[in-house]
Amino acid sequence: MTLVYDRRAMPVARVGRSIFYGWAVVAAAFVSHLLSYGVLTVAFGVLFPFMADALGLGRGLLASAGVVTRLTSAAIAPALGPLVDRYGPRRFMLLGILSLAAGSITLALAHATWQVFLGYGVVMAIASVTLGELTGDATVARWFVRRRGRALAFATMGLSTAGIVVPLPLAWIITRHGWRQAWMALGVTSLVLGLAAAAAMRARPEDHGLAPDGDPPPRAPRAGAPITVVAERSLSARQAARTPAFWLLVLSTNLAGLALFGINLHLFSYVTDKGLGVGMAAGLVTYLYVLHTAAKPLWGMIAERIHVRYCIAACYAGGALGVAVLVVSASATALLTFATIYGLTRGAQSFVTSLAWANYFGREAQGAIRGLASPFRFLAAAAGPVVGGLLYDATGSYTIAFVVFAATFALGAATALAARPPRPE
């Protein structure tokens, strides 16, 4: 029988002289998200049009480098997930940091198509698996039960913080020194910050004589004392895969993921094609991610009162509405409206979906469960940018692509509503 913890029954931790180490784990996960998303998604989206023009590549072909990344990631994620559960996250985070830095330097030196595909599609694929959700979120979920929602909200703020801190400095480097120097700067920054984050990561509170949330470790009951029936249970990856909830979460998150990653890559190009300068476009993206950051603690409080599947559905529905506004008009008012709606709803998507995986299936096999679901996420992440790029190349605009993205967001919202938690055995 697996020992599990009841969020409602555990006592509130007393405030002591030292801060619970779980918050250091949250900080490390924050940095992991910031680097992974900041380099693989935000930076690549900003650098995308400059690389396409300089290297003479079609946008559909350049976006296809992401397909190689996602396919490679999809192949290795199921194997790495159980290893993270067994050996802990630190060594895998370190591997991801090294691959992120090496891939950035490879892109900085690239002069041919195959070199771009090598750096972004193969070398960085390791980072896309071993940084962020599989190591960071899965480990945070082990350190927190009662406070899991707020802990994951803070950890996943690294994603949106990347959208705040990356675009403007990157635009400045591009205009002053060129896109190659921008990739080089990203590689060095990833190495410095990533090594510090990996050093702070620890696998489980029990390994250090602690209990989740910083609560006193549970004591053995006195002779004859009744045994408390606990509420949260942990499923293995095989048990989780036998539940409808697992597959409905996979379907909903990946319908929305197709739109999410397509918009992430092509949004900067979309707004610059509409006549905004590089600086203004970078400012719009920064504003969008400021709202992404604010959305996570806001939805963290909401998720403590409303079931997480309703939160997921609301976030996806907001994404659909925001993109629909963007399709209807490209005026300054429409762009601001899009960024506000999209930022305050879609910005919480990473947090609420990560919370659902932990709350639905428990803390013990998070690496294996997320690793099992990851191939589908990577395939959706590969499809979105390619759909956007190919439709742009075929039609000369992003209109049809963004209509498709709005529709898949809406379908993801409907599917999330059907994803009820597994019933206790």
Instruction: Report the 3 state secondary structure along 113-141.
Output: HHHHHHHHHHHCHHHHHHCCHHHHHHHHH
Q: What is the DSSP string of 296-354?
A: HHHHHHHHTTS-HHHHHHHHHHHHHHHHHHHHH--SHHHHHHHHHHHHHHGGGHHHHHH
Structure tokens given for 217: 């470790």
What is the pLDDT, as a whole number, of residue 93? 93
Amino acid at position 359, single letter: N
Q: How many CB atoms lie within 10 A of CB 286?
A: 17
Residue range 141-190, pLDDT digits in tens: 888 888 888 888 889 888 888 878 888 899 899 989 999 999 999 999 99
First-to-final CA distance of the chain: 13
Amino acid at position 332, single letter: A
Instruction: Give the CB-side neighbour count of residue 108, counting CA atoms within 13 A.
Output: 20
- Dihedral angle over CA of 46, 52, 58, 62, nearest 10: -60
Spatial separation of the C-alpha atoms in residues 381 and 403, rounded to whole Å: 17
Compute the average pLDDT of residues 377-383.
80
Q: How many CB atoms lie within 10 A of CB 422?
A: 17
The structural domains of the chain, ordered by start, are 22-208+235-418 (1.20.1250.20)
What is the pLDDT, as a whole number, of residue 218? 60
**Range of weakest confidence among 52-56, 311-315, 328-332, 339-343:** 328-332
Residue whose token pair is 């403590």:
304
Residue 228 pLDDT grade (very low, low, confident, very high; cuts 50, 70, 90): very low
Residue 425 pLDDT grade (very low, low, confident, very high; cuts 50, 70, 90): low
Residue range 344-359, pLDDT digits in tens: 998 788 888 888 888 8
Spatial separation of the C-alpha atoms in residues 150 and 215, rounded to whole Å: 16
Mean of pLDDT over the chain: 83
Residue 217 pLDDT grade (very low, low, confident, very high; cuts 50, 70, 90): low
DSSP reduced 3-state for 397: coil
Q: How would you classify residue 214: left for phi > 0, otherwise alpha for psi between -120 and 50, otherwise beta?
A: left
**Range of weakest confidence among 105-109, 118-122, 349-353:** 349-353
What is the pLDDT, as a whole number, of residue 316? 94
